[in-house]
Amino acid sequence: MSLWILNGKVWNESSASLEGKHIQVVDGKIAAIVDASETVNTEGAEVVDAQGKLVSPGFIDMHVHLRDPGFTHKEDIITGSRSAAKGGFTTIACMPNTRPVTDTAETVRYIIDKSEEAQLVKVLPYASITKNELGRELTDFASLKEAGAIGFTDDGVGVQNAQMMKDAMTLAKSLDMPVIAHCEDDSLVVGAWASEGEFSRKHGLKGIPNESEAIHVGRDVLLAEATGVHYHVCHVSTEQSVRLIRLAKQVGIKVTAEVCPHHLILSDENIPGLDDANWKMNPPLRTPRDVAAVLEGLEDGTIDIIVTDHAPHSAEEKAKGVDLAPFGIVGLETAFPLLYTHFVETGRWTLGFLLKRMTQDPARVFRLEEGSLEVGKPADITIVDIENEQAVDPSTFLSKSNNTPFGGWKLKGWPVATIVNGNIVWTE
């Protein structure tokens, strides 16, 4: 099978500019990349005209909730994969807080088999650190790795017991696997949903203090130093966490970290009030000072990658009000336009910086062969119309859920086609 993508704009890191290119794909691999000024023979090949469009390595999202098995009224592997493809993602990693929890080889294989049957995007499953994510007993790391898990995490809850976390890191290190941590000390967050700050004080709410996250980060980087494991921090949201990760990296501890678009763009000052649970997420929106810190952390390399923490919930669940509604927002279909509009269009970031944090860097951190446009690499490619401006319309999401605070926002940089292993899996 042969495919030509003609006249696209490809980012050249050395010249920091977009250059016109034709890209040939053969049997799922990138076979050739030539200047758009050259005449190529497309006879017998499928042709995609990318005139004027950005052609990027497929985006990689290492933090997604697909809710399957167990919560398929919110999302399932197929709808989540379609949502990912519409957002330009070609590889996603799904979290294990499903029902049953992804704590057995059978559940890991269920996720892999269902995603392969769908033939949409690549789905990489995480397995849980502890059985049923209860923090009481470690799972069988070896069998989970053999079944196809790419790392271990109790995302959704923090591992409260330090000895349990150290044992998990020791075991993961022996298997050359990463530990991915949701950092949250339960004793500091009970009964709260908003961050401790001006918003919580104004509305008389109990706030979630920054220490609830940073205490686990500090504990875990010391445990990572002791065990030598690759330790990855989920959805960093506080100034203190950034400072601890920066210090850990400076002394050579093997720690990496991620941040979400909403924590880069929104603070608690943006929350309109207490009526809309689409502003309720975990970690919560922090203060403007925290937003500045995570931005700085991403820009200086303290934070390695951008993820969405795509967390679908049904409209009925989110309609229960902020006290009762579950935490989380969807993010796959708005991530790139949000970041492109707010940071590239404004001149704060180069396009190359944004693409690197969504392609090369997640591939580097998790040792994936995807993430770049090179001859011989998998033909995972995203085509984006960076000139197209349109409003976010949650009713058009391919996700089963549309819980987003960004409805109506006018954004530029919308994906128009997504290619995985040389197959077009979504097009506008």
Q: Is the bond leading into 100 cis (omega within 30 degrees of zero)?
A: yes
152 annotated ligand binder: no
* Amino acid of residue 14: S
243 annotated ligand binder: no
Residue linked to tokens 């979630």: 208
Q: Would you please indicate which residues are annotated as catalytic (active-site) residues?
A: 309
Residue 68 is encoded by which pair of tokens? 């399957």
- The closest alpha carbon to 183, from 157, 209, 165, belongs to 157
67 annotated ligand binder: yes
Other beta carbons less than 10 A from residue 318's beta carbon: 22
309 annotated ligand binder: yes
63 annotated ligand binder: yes
353 annotated ligand binder: no
Where helices occur in 91-238 by DSSP H, the ranges are: 105-118, 141-147, 162-174, 198-202, 211-227
342 annotated ligand binder: no
Kindly list the distances between the CA atom of residue 263 and the CA atoms of 101, 162, 181, 198, 259, in Å, as whole numbers in the listed order. Answer: 27, 27, 17, 17, 7
336 annotated ligand binder: no
235 annotated ligand binder: yes
263 annotated ligand binder: no
Q: What is the CA radius of gyration of the chain?
A: 21
Residue 58 is encoded by which pair of tokens? 């497929």
59 annotated ligand binder: no
Q: What is the phi/psi pair of residue 411, to 5°?
A: -135, 155
Where is the binding site for Zn(2+), in residues? 63, 65, 155, 182, 235, 309
Where is the binding site for substrate, in residues? 65-67, 97, 282, 313, 327-328
Where is the binding site, in residues? 63, 65-67, 97, 155, 182, 235, 282, 309, 313, 327-328
